[in-house]
Amino acid sequence: MRSKYAPFRRYLERVKANRLTLTFTEIEEIIGAKLPSSAFHYLEWWGNDWTHTQASKGWLAAQWRTADVNLNNGVVHFYGIDRTHKSSRSD
């Protein structure tokens, strides 16, 4: 089954910088869907946890980590991690 967050993974894989700041709205545009309400209310949703679908099929699969999530302003900062080895995880 194709992941809702696969387009986000592909987007991040194309980013050349090691740091990236996106608004929640920009992420919704990338995935072509609304984020769940929990993304707007709980920092844990943005955690770097492989057991969370949004992370494992999204930013972690693309070798990025989240940091400095601002729920009030709807902004999240991403930092590239060892992106020299592309993930072999599938959608």
Per-residue pLDDT of 33-58, as tens digits, reads: 999 999 999 999 999 999 999 999 99
pLDDT over 70 at 83, yes or no = no
Q: In degrees to the nearest 10, what's the CA dihedral of 49, 34, 16, 58?
A: 30
Q: To 10 degrees, what angle do helices 24-31 and 6-14 make?
A: 110
Q: Please state the pTM of the whole predicted model.
A: 0.86
